[in-house]
Amino acid sequence: MAETHHFDAASLFSMKGHVAVITGGGTGIGLMATQALSQNGAKVYITGRRMDALENAAKKHQPKDGTGGEIIPIGPCDVTKKDDLETLVADIQKKEKYITLLMVNAGITGPKTKPDEDDADDLKKKLWENESVADWQEAFETLVTGVYFTTVAFLPLLQAAIQPKGPQEKFGASVITTSSMSGIMRDAQGHFAYNTAKGATVHLTKLMSSEFLRASIRVNSIAPGYFPSELTDPTHESDDRQKSNFPQKKIQQYNHVPNERPGREEEMGMTVLYLARNEYVNGEIIAVDGGVLNVVPGR
């Protein structure tokens, strides 16, 4: 039975001894997760397509001395390429016997076309001419296919973490996918390809959580609302610390965010720590959206 001191937050959410891998870990939500995990003791490998961004993120955001955590850039890796994923796994296997957490976070925006024409001919023309099959395929390859094969590639390293530490104790192994509130709502937001792909990410998460039970690997998803990242920043870039901005005035224009502000980076970090440490949560889609899904129709 738990004594009161067992509920100390530093103990509940300690990541000491844990090893994490985060795709798209050099910017945006991936970097927020990286900071939260490493500051609480985890060794975090971050990967992506741009080594300069990964190396800069690691340089600028190493945790304070004494935490035991570390941020390590590795790659580059394109999650849509199986050869890249196999190389990434092999490189990490040379350094680690196991990983306890995989966060599959790499993402792209896809094409954007607002379906705001009343006349069907005009609507067809706008959607038909502004989007391509290649655009849709690229979105699905990154946001769905890439999520699946990244997870599959790391299954052995994840299962290797499940070893007895003591009587009735284990190191859990889990996967966190980054889906989106956009994959749960009925509003296309002009992002038909992105929102459809994120909906598929949501369902893929549920499928993997069920099918990977026999391997004792948990799979959950974070469905973010509006957080600062290169995908949401008007400039689509990061600053010299790999951070992005989400203007307050942009939120005010939307009129569907009850909290009336973007999500704070620390709030994303709290969610990552919760899913990483709570081994009684499996197959859940956690929306961190400021209440948007209370306003915008969901599915």
Contact 296, 252 (CB under 8 A): no
* Catalytic residue flag (residue 198): yes
* Catalytic residue flag (residue 179): yes
- Catalytic residue of the set 38, 174, 179, 229: 179
| Structure-token pair, residue 109 | 């925006």
Provide the H-helix boundaries in the chain: 9-12, 28-39, 51-60, 82-93, 120-130, 133-140, 146-159, 192-211, 248-254, 265-277
CA distance 233 to 228: 6
Q: Which amino acid would we find at residue 154?
A: F
Please give the backbone phi and psi of residue 41, each rounded to the nearest 5 degrees, phi first: 110, -5
- Catalytic residue of the set 98, 194, 229, 238: 194
Q: Which amino acid would we find at residue 254?
A: Y
CA distance 154 to 125: 43
Q: What is the dihedral of CA 38, 71, 228, 262, to 10 degrees?
A: 0
Q: CA 86, 89, 95, 97 torsion: positive or negative?
A: negative
- Hey, which residues are catalytic here? 179, 194, 198
